[in-house]
Amino acid sequence: MLPIDAAAHSSRWRRRHPVDKAVLGLGLTVLAISLPPWPGAALVLVTALVALLGPAGVPGRRLWRAYRVPLGFCVTGALTLLVQVGGPGGFVSPAPEGPLRAGELLLRTSAASLGVLLFAFTTPMSDLLPRLV
């Protein structure tokens, strides 16, 4: 059994219906993508963290272990926005609005990742699969 599924089995929200958790977690993900990065995605990030660490009862260490891999992809994607290839500045030069765009992307993607993790940490696959059939 995967560690995130084991955590979902011991979640405080284990007995809640999966649709309720899907609406919350995936709704936060959609909001993180569709709202402006500031303050929308920042509020989504804080809301997901509060829900995960508070009412859902996910231990911080366990959350960090699951979150660090998607966060690494988010950072890698944001780093590519810091430079531009070609143009008047030379072959490789800093992008004019690179830090701003990278920060916005990092905020959106990390908030969206937490929304998905909220659903994953509270809904075991054994509860989800029968409802998908």
Helix (H, G, I), strand (E, B) or coil at 92: strand
Render pLDDT for 27-51 as a digit per residue (tens, 0 to 9): 999 999 999 998 999 999 999 999 9
Q: Which helix or strand (DSSP H or E) is residue 84 part of?
A: strand 83-85
pLDDT for the residue 18: 85
Residue 126 lies in a domain: no
Residue 132 lies in a domain: no
HSE, side-chain direction, 13 A CA sphere, residue 50? 8
Unique residue bearing structure tokens 């809904």: 123
Task: Confirm if 127 and 26 have CB atoms less than 8 A apart.
Answer: no
Residue 127 lies in a domain: no
pTM of the predicted structure, to 2 decimals: 0.85
Q: Could you tell me which of 121, 123, 20 has the C-alpha nearest to residue 70?
A: 121
Residue 106: which domain range?
3-120
Dist. CA 13–CA 122, nearest whole Å: 6
Check residues 47 and 87 and name the one with the higher pLDDT.
47
Residue 64 lies in a domain: yes
pLDDT for the residue 1: 67
Domain count, the chain: 1
| The two structure tokens encoding residue 103 | 């920060």
